[in-house]
Structure 1
Amino acid sequence: MESHYLTPFFSPRAVAVFGASDTADAIGQIVFHNLLAAGFTGPLYAINPRRDTVQGQSAYASIAQVPSAVDLAVIATPAATVPGIIEACGQQGVKAAVIITAGFAEAGEAGRQLEQQALQAARRHGIRLIGPNCLGIMRPAIGLNATFNKGSANSGHLAIVSQSGALCTAILDWARNNDVGFSSVVSLGASADVDFGDILDYLLHDVQTHNVLLYIEGIHDARRFMSALRAIARVKPVILVKVGRHAAGSKAVMSHTASLAGSDAVFDAAVRRLGVIRVQTIAQLFSAARAMSCGFQPTGNRLAIVTNGGGPGVMAADRAADLGIEMATLSPATLARLDAVLPPNWSHGNPVDLIGDAQADRYRHAVQACLDDPQVDGVLAILTPQAMTDPLAAAGAVIAAGAGQTKPLITCWMGEVQVESSRKAFIQAHRPHFRTPEPAVEVFSYLSAYYQNQKLLMQLPGPLSHHEEPDIKRARGVIEQALDEGRTLLNELESKSVLAAFRIPVTVARLAHSVSEALEIARDIGYPLVMKLCSPDIPHKSDVGGVVLNIYSAADVRSAFLTITENVRVKRPQARLTGIAIEPMIRRPHGRELIVGVSRDVVFGPVISFGAGGIFVEALADCAVALPPLNSFLARELIQRTRVSKVLAAFRHLPAANMEALEMVLLRVSEMACELPGLVEMDINPLILDENGVCAVDARMVIEAQVPERPRYAHMAIYPYPTHLVSHYVMLDGTDITIRPMRPEDAGLVQRFVRGLSEESRYFRYMSMFKELSQTMLVQFTQFDYIREMALMAVHTVPSDKQQSGEQREEEQIGVSRYIISPDGLSCEFALVVADALHGRGVGRQLMLTLMDAARAHGLKRMKGYVLNNNRNMLHLMQSLGFTVSRMPDDNTLRLVEKAL
């Protein structure tokens, strides 16, 4: 019901430009000229105390002299003046400001102080800031061009959000010749206040925005970024490029945006989970944007290539193999169709070689047949201008074949002069086109990755992903004891104790402090044995000769004990030796040595790594990373991204490894990352896996103390499914009800529930006369991350109508309560609906009480909602729960209900 807090940036009623001038090429002169030239229809005020007029418009000495209220201030004056300008704007009720000026945090300590002064003034008056050191913002549909870009932009449906103003100018320049229009262009600059999360939150609800491009140098608030990006990626394609992938680039980022770049591998893992497309270069960003703007709906990675030249077709196939793109196997029906319309000497496979004399009709028939094939997910059409070729006619045939298709159709008309008119035709038809095959295949790979990442986006695992719960209390006890002793490195025995508490199979180890104690332990355990040093100062034991394998006798025990202690004395004389760990020697002839670890990324928090293990971990560098929490789908996906995964199946003399056991270890480690916020680092290396199961042979952990007041899972970028909010309720008639958070897989339950509501109940809840939720609404209602909103379902079990499943009972939804956090971060708006047959039986009350408890636990202070004034039962329930009811000043049909939490 309320407008978004960023609305003054994107739909201002009046704009004031500080520093507007007539001086040629001054930033203030360009900004004011752009606003005039773009045709902004609202009042536009030039603020310049030294001029009476600027560019033919009246100028004002200060914001206080402006004759009407101003929503947006654009500041292009020296940095030293900005804090005072923000203060003056606050006194006049301005709620948004774009600071184009540079010279703040990026300029050193004096600049940082100026930036803080500006922020403090903005917070006192409730002003939101974009910048400083930015290009500005555009909203072409309303004639808003508050930038110093030399040129305008067409109105369209593509939004750009960038930390680089220079990149914005490059994209805008590219767009002119490619018939691309924009809903918004936002240059964030240093992101001192408004950041990616804020802008994405606005664009999510912006009807003008259909696709989003992001240029990222660093992330300030990982959870806010992840939450907002996850929300928008559910309904709008997002393409991003992030720089700072290597050390040199990261250093440049620090000097440019004062942001922390973080690990690139972790960033890549994060955005994969968010369902977005990541590209590596600006050229790829342009190409992917062109493709995504065509409205394709990718469904896989099987590519068909149609070409009039064998060489280009092979080049495209080679690039597809490089990128892991599968060459589609054409169905028998498609092969028959092609045989009927192509010459006998066509390639009879994929790539579909039409032969050099191919005319437009061959292209039309071949492309159409491939697009119609259910075994094809996308088509690349290639043309080389040959003597018999009519490139423009062939282009028209391909465009016609793709009309109405949602499968990706990408074109590559090679050459220059002879195909120039064809490229113009592709631009007018909004078809992605390329000069060479390789970038065309790359674009298809982005579309395929988008489809795969959207499946990852659907995964919302809980912290406990299986039935046997870990002994978290025991694990925390081990950690707390070490911290009490002033230690942050757990020894091997302590590390294995934590692993065992999370039900991870480990080798049993005992600690010996003398040769005689070692001999006694050896007799108890039995031979063969392994002996390893334990030292808080030596994390990698093998580096100092601290591991002895294959110990078969008492003499070997004595020799190994003396050898290890002597190696430590010689190589690390300052190290503390707390003892020698003795454990059984694991002999698994079919075992594969793996590593599973947890590390702490400075931006995204805990990260799980998996790969080839043993003493050559660094040399092999075979490692994939993922953000917790994991479920089985995500664990398998993590495994498959490593080279070592190829030897986990049956391989030469080795039987297939027990993949279920490996997945279970990854799920257990995911639980550790969720439930142990003090876990900074962990290595299980090696983790031995064979056909019989898995065993952790060695482990090390680094820990730190935690702030006890931090909310649960505050250390994580992705919030797990909140199992702690599951509760049970018994109605007066004895019916058992479960109240639990909604999951993405509940979409079917939700749709059936809405269909079953009476017209009156649907109207009271949604204030609209529809019979069922649209697909977009269903996605928005069931796919969320529990940070920005919460939905609690009331369900009970009923006899199953799924005769083939063998299930006797299934869940049925009987109600739902939901809150969405308001932009202030302290309040939320709620909604509630209960099945008609259960009105008046306490389900709605219980849902609201549970929802209010969840909101309080999240730190929210106030809850409000909007109820139709003829919904008397809802108003009565709200009053009985302590909500106040008041009239809406601008709508007599609604009542505002509010309650302090």
Structure 2
Amino acid sequence: MGPHYLTKLFKPNSIAVFGASERPESVGGNALQNLLKAGFKGDIYAINPKHDTVQNQVCYPNIESVPTIPDLAVIATPAKSIPAIIQACGERGVGNAVILSAGFEDKAGKVLQQKMVSIAKSYGMRLIGPNCLGILRPEIGLNATFSKNQAIPGSLALVSQSGAICTAVLDWAEANGVGFSQVISTGDAADIDFGEILDFLALDPQTKNILLYIEGIANSRQFMSGLKAAARMKPVILLKSGRMPEGSKAAVSHTGALVGGDDVFSAAIERSGAVRAQSISQLFAAAKALSHNIKINNNRLAILTNGGGPGVMATDRAAELGVKMPDISQDSMQKFNAFLPEHWSHGNPIDILGDATGQRYTQALDVCQNDNQYDGILILLTPQAMSDPSGIARAIIEYTQKTENCKPIFTAWLGESLVSEARVLFSKAKIPTFRTPEAAVEAFSFISTYHQNQALLMQSPAPADQVCKESDISGARAIIESVLAEHRTILSSAETRAIMNAFGVPITPAIEVSSANQAMVAAESIGFPVSLKINSPNLTHKSDVGGVKLNLTTVQEVRSEYTKMIERIKQEQPNAVIQGVTVEPMFKRPHVRELLIGVMRDPVFGPAITFGSGGTSVEVIKDNAIALPPLNQFLARKMITQTKVSKMLKAFRGLPEVNFDAIVDVLLRISDMVAQLPEILELDINPLFADEEGVMAVDARISVQAPPFSHKPYQHMAIHPYPSELIHSLETHSGLIVELRPIRPEDAELELDFVRNLSERSRYLRFMNSIQTLSPLMLSRFTQIDYDREMAFIATTKNKQDKNIEIGVTRYTTNPDGKSCEMAVVVRDDYQHQGVASALLASLIQHAKAKGLRKMEGEVLSENGPMIDLVKNHNFSVKPTQDDPTVLQIELNLDLA
């Protein structure tokens, strides 16, 4: 795999500075000064037609006069001049530019920006900015910013849309000794945005941890793909300011009233495996902890303090963040009693009293260190009359340096003048230190939450039962298209029920009527008792306007209530279009709980699914969980358990436990529905009745909107769903019936069995080492793929026990250049030479071509004759590698395939 295509942008060997100046107050002057001061290790070319020299550097009039082609142009000239500069740089062959200049904010500026980007694209040139602070890479002395701060090398990357946040973090880091691998200010992000930057940082060996400051997302699919890729490999902590506009809250359903843009953003972050901070102080706390490369596998914390108050403050914050604080074990209690004064706290937090010395601190620290129920230790100190803050800090530092496999330690010395020296000592010793107990607990929480998220991501979901296989997608789409053709956006009750039925969602039947006589006939046909509900596209919440009547038991009641309802609503809601009522059977079972399932369309992340308490008071109770589709069983169950109503789904007060699987089933069907029908803008099932027998939707509402003319499959979603349209069956030349399909997370057990059933030689030829089985990390990586940037097809067939087994797999992963991919293919030994590998590889090649990739490549051991024959049959070129004659390089030009 070659270097990432953004490497020369973020790690340039040479830089041209447009707008270089002697004036210290100018942006260009500052940028050049910073490069010189930071000791950039490459060539620097100052460009300004008004000067021969600038800051003791030769100054060139234009890019054409520069002796060599720079990797990067840093531009700090007036906005109007920049399109011409980009044109000149493109013609000279400069591949990248950082545009520091502002002036693109108004309407004319946007036109200018569009022109600038268009010119850059025509030359394949990539841009950071405009209106950004710039970029830093301290390890190579790169400070291409106009900030007053320098930065020291480290392992922490910072990416921010706000230049002001960048300077604040840099200033704080300078004072706290925190170093950076890369700092990137995206500014207006006219070209390169978070997604591509995260791709680069995920593969950057210098970057071990990532901080993000976000104000808005332009491309949610690219952002989610990049974020998931990065968060799988290294901790990512982000802070987002502001909320989505109120316009993201639709007004036509309960769901719209419940879900705001910020809720959806949080759901997206949780799905990615990253961790979200809520304030700039929390971001600083996370940065400090990350800079020490601490790993915490669980979130059990011991708090050691010489004062009760700070211990309580830390405990309160731990409880708010869900950090566990286990009680002291019996063994540890005996050890503490042996050396602590009689009146110590005898609990966690462990208050060792105000006269604690360095020895008492280290003794207590040693007990916590050897207690397996703690994953980290927070040490607090208040400078009391008997305290020696610096001496105690030295004792703790000495203890940590002598102790092998020391647990992560966080410190908070409260105060200022009396504790400042101790803080410096901790910083030099690489022990995270904070000014407040709350900040220290937050830092612990961020790191532990990240590692717990990674453990969750590696969980193997339960096998899929393909509940949605029988969905009538074409029928549902035809109904929606007819609604849109009539210039309507709200589906009628009958149309809504038809869509539900098409996807197998249980829903009570309903008959639409427009007169009292029709209502009586319908009621008699359905069977009593029945309910009447107003049928109007303008009245969202029927019960709020008196548009619902329940438990009607005679035709006389039906006639009377129909007449009264219509007359009253026409009088009170004169502008509403009244189409009559729907007559529905009363769903009566003694043990039901009322739930809600809804969908709303977020302007950035697309459809979001919510689940929670149902009924008429949902906006007041606000008990709901939100997730982005596509869902699987694992995600659906997790979503349900996040709500308070989930406790009511269990057996309590004589009520039996509800059919949990039936609720999961409906969530999966709704997830499939919104993936397959991009026209759905909002969906509201309220109430969804659930009991021990199953579930039943009693009322539902769907609003729709025509997708853009150029809509591609799943383009409306932030996360690419399972591409079921790629499933196909075939018969190989040997007569073997095989199903070829994309791999899915639920295939973890199949994949594990497949690798186990490979011969030792086949495993060696595939992995080029003597791997025996897949680790949990490898298994999750192989099965939980991002269908937007990679693909894996598996071949399955039935064994003698009529059980599905995996007999082959092929996969490609897109290379950092975005144009080529690496491939691999392997077939189980007892199914080789039957055409399985050829069928798999043909499917892979076809998919890579459809994705717009230009080249497929890979490596094959020279002793792997069957693989070499296979790829030659599919027109791959085969040649030896320069470094190792036992390894052959294979390559296919997909444009010609």
Query: Any conservation in 1 of the 2:239–2:283 contact (CA below 8 Å)?
Result: yes
- 2:53 is matched with 53
Residues 465-499 of structure 1: per-residue CA shift (max 9 Å, x gap): 64464433343343233234332211223222322
Contact 2:491 2:703 in 1 (8 A): yes
> Any conservation in 2 of the 1:463–1:721 contact (CA below 8 Å)?
no
Residue 212 of structure 1: how far off its partner (Å) = 0.5
Task: State the secondary structure of the residue aligned to 1:327.
Answer: coil
Q: Deviations over 1:486-518 (max 9, x none)?
A: 322112232223223333222221122221121
Report if the CA contact (8 A) 2:101-2:130 is conserved: yes
The question of 1:364 aligning with 2:359 is answered: no
When residues 350 and 123 of structure 1 are mapped into structure 2, their CA distance, relative to the original with a 3 A threshold, is same
Aligned CA distance change for structure 1 residues 404 and 580 (closer, same or farther; 3 Å): farther
1:668 equivalent in alignment to 2:666: no
The match for 2:873 among 877, 880, 897 is: 880
Give the AA of the match of 1:830. Answer: M
Deviation at 1:405, TM superposition (A): 4.4
Match of 2:418, SS state, is helix
Partner of residue 375, structure 1 = 373
The 5-angstrom pairing of residues 679-828 of structure 1 reads 679-706=680-707, 710-727=711-728, 739-743=740-744, 780-794=781-795, 815-822=808-815, 825=818, 827-828=820-821
Q: How many aligned positions are there?
A: 882
Q: Counterpart amino acid of 1:171?
A: V
Note closer, same or farther for the CA distance 1:416–1:19 as it changes in structure 2 (3 Å cut): same
Distance 1:530 1:248 in 2: 35
Residue range with higher mean Cα deviation, 64-73 or 498-507: 498-507
1:230, 1:457 within 8 Å by CA — same for their partners in 2?
no
TM-score, structure 2 as length reference: 0.90
Specify the SS of the correspondent of 2:239. strand
CA distance in 2, matches of 1:463, 1:502: 20
Contact 2:876 2:891 in 1 (8 A): no
Kindly state the Cα deviation for residue 888 of structure 1 after the two structures are TM-superposed: 8.1
1:804 alignment partner in structure 2: none
Offset of 1:182 from its aligned partner?
Answer: 0.8
1:274 Cα deviation after fit: 0.5
* CA separation of 1:236 and 1:91: change in aligned 2, threshold 3 A: same
User: 1:888·1:896 contact (CA, 8 Å) conserved in 2?
Assistant: no
Comparing 772-781 with 670-679, greater Cα deviation is found at: 772-781
Identity of aligned residues (%): 51
Paired residues for 1:492-891 under 5 Å: 492-652=493-653, 655-706=656-707, 710-727=711-728, 739-743=740-744, 780-794=781-795, 815-822=808-815, 825=818, 827-834=820-827, 842-860=835-853, 862-865=855-858, 873-884=866-877
Q: Is the 8 A contact 1:347 1:353 kept in 2?
A: yes
Corresponding position of 1:323:
321
- Please tell me the residue identity of whatever aligns with 2:233: V
Name the residue aligned to 2:210.
Answer: 212
Q: Identify which of 126, 142, 145 aligns with 2:143.
A: 145
Secondary structure at the residue paired with 1:138? strand
Query: In 2, Cα distance between the equivalents of 1:477 and 1:749?
Result: 37
Structure 1 residue corresponding to 2:281, chosen from 276, 280, 283: 283
Q: Secondary structure at the match of 1:619?
A: helix
Who is 2:256 aligned against? none
Cα 1:848–1:687 shift into 2, 3 Å: same
Q: What is aligned with 1:94?
A: 94
Residues 851-874 of structure 1, C-alpha deviations (whole Å, 9 max, x = no match): 123324445455344557776654
SS in 2 for 1:240: strand
Task: Look up the equivalent residue of 2:894 and give its one-letter code.
Answer: K
Using a 3 Å threshold, how does the CA distance of structure 1 residues 24 and 122 change in structure 2: closer, same or farther?
Answer: same
Is residue 110 from structure 1 mapped to residue 105 from structure 2 by the alignment? no
Counterpart CA distance in 2 for 1:468 and 1:751 is 25
- Structure 1: distance between partners of 2:685 and 2:200: 43
Q: Which residue of 1 aligns with 2:305?
A: 307
Which residue is equivalent to 1:440?
440
Contact 1:463 1:629 (C-alpha < 8 Å) held by counterparts: no
More moved, 360-369 vs 289-298: 360-369
Cα 1:742–1:58 shift into 2, 3 Å: same
Deviations 1:810-833 (A, max 9, x none): 987665422223456554332334
Alignment of 1:422-461 (within 5 A): 422-455=422-455, 457-458=457-458
Aligned residue for 1:234, secondary structure, equals: helix
Q: CA deviation at 1:618?
A: 2.3
Q: 1:563 to 1:815 in 2, by over 3 A?
A: same
Q: CA offset at residue 537 of structure 1?
A: 2.7
Pairwise CA distance, 1:779: 5.9
Amino acid at match of 2:310: P
Map residues 145-544 of structure 1 onto 2, 5 A cutoff: 145-245=143-243, 263-399=261-397, 400-401=399-400, 404-405=404-405, 408-455=408-455, 457-458=457-458, 466-467=466-467, 469-473=469-473, 474-544=475-545
Contact 2:877 2:890 in 1 (8 A): no
Distance, in Å, in 1 between the alignment partners of 2:304 and 2:878 is: 66
Deviation at 1:601? 0.7
Distance 2:389 2:806 in 1: 58
Q: CA deviation at 1:591?
A: 3.4
- Which residue does 1:899 correspond to in 2? 894
Greater Cα offset, 134-143 or 550-559: 550-559
- 2: CA distance between counterparts of 1:144 and 1:713? 40
Report deviation, 1:568.
3.0
The amino acid of 1:568's aligned partner reads: I
Task: State the alpha-carbon separation in 1 of the partners of residues 91 and 558 from structure 2.
Answer: 80
Secondary structure in structure 1 of the residue aligned to 2:98: strand
Q: Is the 8 A contact 1:295 1:406 kept in 2?
A: no
Structure 2 residue identity aligned to 1:899: L
CA distance in structure 1 between the aligned counterparts of 2:201 and 2:246, rounded to whole angstroms: 33
Are 1:550 and 1:585, in contact at CA under 8 Å, matched by a contact in 2?
yes
Relative to structure 1, the CA distance from residue 406 to residue 576 in structure 2 (aligned partners, 3 Å threshold; closer, same or farther) is farther
Change (3 A) 1:500 1:401: farther
How far the C-alpha of 1:809 sits from its partner, in A, is 10
Counterpart amino acid of residue 882 in structure 1: N
User: Which residue does the alignment assign to 1:256?
Assistant: none
Q: 1:277-336: CA deviations, max 9, x gaps? A: 111111110101212333333333333222222232222222222333333234434334
Contact 2:460/2:780 (8 A) holds in 1: no
Contact map agreement 2:878 2:889 (CA 8 A) in 1: no
Q: Flag structure 2 segments of 5+ consecutive residues without an equivalent.
A: 249-258
Taking the aligned partners of 2:729 and 2:83, their CA distance within structure 1 comes to 54
Provide the secondary structure at the position in 1 that maps to 2:419: helix
Distance (whole Å) between structure 2 residues aligned to residue 662 and residue 779 of structure 1 = 26
The letter of the residue matching 2:318 is A
Q: CA-to-partner distance for each residue in 1:312-371, whole Å, 9 max, x for gaps?
A: 222222222233333323443433443444444433332222233333343334334334
CA distance in 2, matches of 1:504, 1:248: 31
In the TM superposition, residue 729 of structure 1 has moved relative to its aligned partner by: 6.0
Moved more, 47-56 or 590-599: 590-599
**Distance in 2 (alpha carbons) for counterparts of 1:723 and 1:366:** 58
**Partner Cα separation in structure 2 for residue 629 and residue 184 of structure 1:** 33
Match of 2:252 in 1: none
Displacement of 1:625 after TM fit? 1.3
Kept in 2, the 8 Å contact 1:380–1:410? The answer is yes
Structure 1 unaligned blocks of 5 or more = 251-260, 800-807
> RMSD of the TM alignment (CA)?
3.5
TM-score of the aligned structures, taking structure 1 as reference length: 0.90
In 1, Cα distance between the equivalents of 2:779 and 2:118? 41
Mapped contact 2:301–2:376 kept (Cα < 8 A)? yes
Whether the 8 Å contact between 2:246 and 2:260 is mirrored in structure 1 is no
The answer as to whether partners of 2:566 and 2:580 remain within 8 angstroms in 1 is: no
- Please give the alpha-carbon distance, in whole angstroms, between the structure 2 residues aligned to 1:371 and 1:339: 16
Query: C-alpha distance in 1, partners of 2:31/2:803?
Result: 62
How far apart, in 2, do the equivalents of 1:798 and 1:364 lie? 62
User: Once the two structures are superposed, what CA deviation does each residue of 1:67-89 show, in whole Å capped at 9, x if it has no partner?
Assistant: 11211111011001100000000
Could you tell me which amino acid in structure 2 is paired with residue 112 of structure 1? K
